[in-house]
Amino acid sequence: MKAWQFEGEGKPISLNEIPEPRPGPGEVVIDVKAAGLCHSDLMYMEIGAGTMPFLPMTQGHENAGAISALGEGVSGWAIGDVVGVCSSGVRPPLGMFTPGGFADKLVADVPDLARVPAGLDLSLAALATDAGMTSYHAMIMAGGASTGMKVGVIGYGGLGQIGTRAAVLKGAAVHIAEPKHEVWELAKAAGVAACVADADEWAGQNFDLVVDYAGFDTTQKAINAIRRGGTVVQVGLGKPTFTILSHTILGRTLIGSLGGTVADIEEVFDLLLAKEIEPAYTEISFEAIGTGLELLKNNQVTGRLVARFGD
């Protein structure tokens, strides 16, 4: 079968021929139908070579498809069931420590399976397994966005658009900071109160919560925006390190949110199916994954890229 693999530091992702996987006890094989592209894929190629247990590594941690083989002891699932795969569950992170879904087939552990409801497009199902799960968990579970809160979202990209809408649905007054003016209309259509180009403009405005989906020079700006007792949730990893002024965190909370749960994914599935959340995304072919990652690297993507294949 074919797989897009990272082969080592400084090398581009490569399309290789590899053996088909077999399921072990408690595992299933999934025929991948859709796989989302993520900035984390780029991060893995930049900093992950020294931590990956083996190379080449098949990337792709945002996947949906149909079960095609069952391992020993698997119950509650059948061949043909349509599923998404939680990327922060039992199995170590897909695409970095275990082979991911930029391939015709993917092995997954049963506890990491999220059942895709009938009628949900598989591109949406795929992006829900990471962009959906991670953004929803950070905003709702970690950040606690709720009615009456003043909430800031830094970065209206693949994650920010979903986190924004989730907070709007909870009744929060949501503001976004996003330098790409062309997405402001999308944000306003999702129900945001206001848009700014730079979170610096929020300084001293007493936000209850700011979720930073960017992670460039934005963390300090998020802290400057929240009130005493407020919270910043850090999700984005635009830069490997950041600094903050020590005194500005006193009386405030800064937490990191990583991934989420199968339950988070299935809640996002339901919101997507009901069209309560309608993220912007673009479909590409399996063969275009390498080109798609270059587009991401050059900040030329609105919303999410999803590769469709295997149909």
The burial class, CB within 10 Å (0-12 / 13-18 / 19+), for 299 is exposed
At residue 33, what is the residue type? K
Domains of the chain: 2-129+261-308 (3.90.180.10), 144-256 (3.40.50.720)
pLDDT at residue 311, as a whole number: 59
Q: Are 35 and 126 in contact (CB under 8 A)?
A: yes
Sign of the Cα pseudo-torsion (45, 177, 164, 234, in order): positive
* 158 and 134 Cβ atoms separated by less than 8 Å: no
Q: Is 157 helix (H, G, I), strand (E, B) or coil?
A: coil
- DSSP state for residue 139 in the 8-state scheme: I
| The pLDDT of residue 310 | 63
> What is the structure's pLDDT at 89?
86
CA distance 6 to 228: 44
213 Cβ contact partners less than 8 Å away, ≥ 6 residues apart:
135, 138, 153, 154, 155, 157, 159, 160, 163, 235, 236
Task: Report the distance separating Cα 273 and Cα 261, nearest Å.
Answer: 19
**What gap in Å lies between CA 240 and CA 29, rounded to an integer?**
34
- Helix, strand, coil shares of the chain, percent, nearest 5, are 30, 30, 45
* pLDDT number for residue 64: 98
3-state secondary structure of 307: strand
AA letter at 221: K
List, as one string, the DSSP characters of 12-31: PPEEEE-PPP---TTEEEEE
Q: Along the 311 residues of the chain, how does pLDDT read in single tens digits?
A: 999 999 988 888 999 999 999 999 999 999 999 999 998 888 888 776 677 888 999 999 999 999 999 999 999 999 999 999 998 888 888 988 999 999 999 999 999 999 999 999 999 999 999 999 999 999 999 999 999 999 999 999 999 999 999 999 999 999 999 999 999 999 999 999 999 999 999 999 999 999 999 998 899 999 999 999 999 999 998 877 889 999 999 999 999 999 999 999 999 999 999 999 999 999 999 999 999 999 998 989 988 999 998 65
Distance CA 253, CA 226 (A): 9
AA letter at 123: S
Render the burial of 159-169: b for 16+ CB within 10 Å, e for the rest.
bbbbbbbbbbb
Give yes or no for a contact between 153 and 163, defined as CB atoms under 8 angstroms apart.
yes
Spatial CA neighbour of 38 closest among 10, 13, 15? 13
